[in-house]
Structure 1
Amino acid sequence: MRTFAIGDIHGGLKALIQVLNKIEVKDGDKLIFVGDYVDGWSESAQVIQFLVELSEKINCVFIKGNHDVWCEEWLRSEDVNPTWYMHGGKETMESYEEFSKEDKKAHLEFFENMPLYHIDDENRLFLHAGFTSMYGVKKEVFETTFYFDRTLWEMALTMDKRIEKDSAIYPNRLKHYKEIYIGHTPTINFNCDVPMNAINVWNIDTGAAFTGKISGINIDTKEVFQSDNLPALYPNEKGRNK
């Protein structure tokens, strides 16, 4: 069985399909998505519909991201969070104009069933952003940390790789898991358009919401599969590059 982790999508259905075609997904594969399926490009509702249908054929895990939380809240109550509206929510709402109430209800259930993290049989952790508890994700106090935290990635980036895992100064957060896969913080912020590795943390958000790409990574071989840059696929749109 092959397992792939797939980074932030942000309404870029064309790019997602490119990545899956390059992976050549087949029966027996496992796909773990680290969240932020919506907000940015024009096909957010279409992305969700595609993923719902994909999950009926392929073993998928869908982690919930912060943009997914905002969209879920809107689908449930129709209340528009101003922060969400300014960060891609407007485009997501527009993408739902051709979807029925029944479709929206099904998508709401899809969001509601998303876990905040996933730990596989080899003790590899997958989540959208990070966690702060030195005792691991199961001891995290605040749910929002899983989809908003950036300190995990910041800590991993600044660590001296010469520090051994059994050292007294090795962060306890990192000791609990063989590897940690996250999204949320675009690697293009660090002038990198491929997944980045720091200590045992892999950041696979390669900036699809902005000028970057969607990335998938084989978590065993570390082979990377990427879409074209999103602005090239949606030339008449701005995404979140406003």
Structure 2
Amino acid sequence: MNTFVIGDIHGGLKALIQLLNKLEIQDEDTLIFLGDYVDGWSESAQVIQFVMELSEKINCIFIKGNHDVWCEEWLKSDDVNPTWYMHGGKETMESYMGFSKEDKEQHLQFFQNMPLYFIDDKNRLFIHAGFTSMHGVEKEVFRETFYFDRTLWEMALALDKNIGVHSELYPNRLKNYSEIFIGHTPTINFNSYEPMHAANVWNVDTGATFYGKLTGMNIDTKTFFQSDVVKTLYPNEMGRNKI
């Protein structure tokens, strides 16, 4: 039985299917998705439909990302957030053409049921972006932090590698969990096309919405698999050009 964590998909259904084939998922495996299923490539609505059906066959945990929050708000109210529209929302709205009102309602419920984080039985935290409380996610004041924060990753990157977890200089924020798995901040921002590791934080967003790949990682062995560069799977599309 394996557990795989999957980074930000951003409407790249072709990349997701390709990745799952490489992972060779078994019925008893678990998939933990780190959020941002939509916004970017042209198949956002199709991604949601696909993962909903996938969850009927194998155990899946769907963390909510900031783009999912925007899409949820649109499905609920028809209000278009201008920031969302410019950062993939336009493509997501277009992907819903042909979906019935009932389909959209099912997708809305799917978004509404997504947790903002998950902690497993080995005290590993899975969250889209991060958190700021030194006491952990349960003590976080603003829920938006879970899907917008970048300071957790910045802190992990800046930490002196010689400072161990038992040192009083090791950040209390990181001590709350044995490991932390995040998406949200593309590793291609740091010239890496593969998952990055800093302190006890693993960043699995390898830039699928831009010019990177979609990644799935075994949380125990840290073996990872990747799709092709996603833009090569959608040669007639631009994808998102702003980070």
What's the secondary structure of 2:231's corresponding residue? Answer: helix
Question: Equivalent residue for 2:120?
Answer: 120
Question: Which residue identity does 2:157 align to in structure 1?
Answer: L
SS at match of 2:32: strand
Q: Secondary structure at the residue paired with 1:157?
A: helix
Partner amino acid, structure 2, of 1:192:
S
Q: Distance in 2 between matches of 1:219 and 1:122?
A: 11
For 1:83, the equivalent position in structure 2 comes to: 83
1:235 correspondence with 2:235: yes
State the identity %. Answer: 77
Note the residue ranges of structure 2 that are not aligned, 5 or more in a row: none
Partner Cα distance (1:52, 1:2) in 2: 20
Question: d(CA) in 2 for partners of 1:14 and 1:207?
Answer: 15
For 1:161 and 1:179, locate their aligned partners in 2 and report how far apart those are by CA, in whole Å: 16
Alpha-carbon separation, structure 2, partners of 1:65 and 1:198:
21
Q: Secondary structure in 2 aligned to 1:37? A: coil
Aligned partner letter, 2:191: N
Which 5+ residue runs of structure 1 have no aligned equivalent? none
- For the residue of structure 2 that corresponds to 1:61, the secondary structure is strand
- Cα distance in structure 1, aligned partners of 2:167 and 2:210: 39
CA apart distance, 1:241: 2.3
Q: For residue 131 of structure 1, what is the amino acid of its counterpart?
A: F
> Partner amino acid for 1:144?
E
Distance in 2 (CA, whole Å) between partners of 1:223 and 1:55 is: 23
- 1:168 is displaced (CA, Å) by 1.2
Deviation at 1:166, TM superposition (A): 1.6
Aligned to 2:41: 41
In structure 2, the residue matched to 1:71 is 71
Greater than 4 Å deviation, 4+ residue runs: none
Indicate the residue corresponding to 2:219 in structure 1: 219
Q: How high is the TM-score relative to the length of structure 1?
A: 0.99
TM (normalized to structure 2)? 0.99
Asked whether 1:198 is paired with 2:198, we answer yes
Q: How far apart, CA to CA, are the structure 2 residues paired with 1:117 and 1:164? A: 26
Structure 1, residues 15-61: CA drift from partner, whole Å, max 9, x if none?
A: 00011000011111000000000000000000000000000001000
Per-residue deviation, residues 161-204 of structure 1 (Å, max 9, x unmatched): 11121211110010011100000000000000000000100000
